Amino acid sequence: MANTPQARKRIRRNARRTEINGARMSRIRSFVKKVEAAIEGGNKEEAAAALKAAQPEMARGVARGVLHKNTVARKMSRLSKRVASL
């Protein structure tokens, strides 16, 4: 159990950051799912538009420290390749 004031504050902060980071990850996943759904549907224009919307969201995740930059680079690359192959 946290006994010092800074430990108690850290617990409060961690809970808040977890909530915020969870919301950010959920938002990123939603954008990626829209791209994947468009790819599955075979609609290249829709997939390209969804990818264009997803890329800044993924980059924002890197800037906010929610995702590692290489992870996002890999995911963007794979999604781009799949959209281009349509």
pTM: 0.87
Q: What is the CATH number of the domain that holds 71?
A: 1.20.58.110
62 CB-near residues (< 8 Å, 6+ apart):
68, 69, 72
Q: Residues 83, 44: contact at Cβ < 8 Å?
A: yes
At 56-78, the pLDDT tens digits run: 999 999 999 999 999 999 999 99
At 21-67, the pLDDT tens digits run: 999 999 999 999 999 999 999 999 999 999 999 999 999 999 999 99
Torsion of CA 18, 22, 24, 28, to 10 degrees: 150
Q: Residues 76, 28: contact at Cβ < 8 Å?
A: no
What does the radius of gyration of the chain's CA atoms come to, in whole angstroms? Answer: 17
* Number of structural domains in the chain: 1
Range of the domain at 19: 5-84
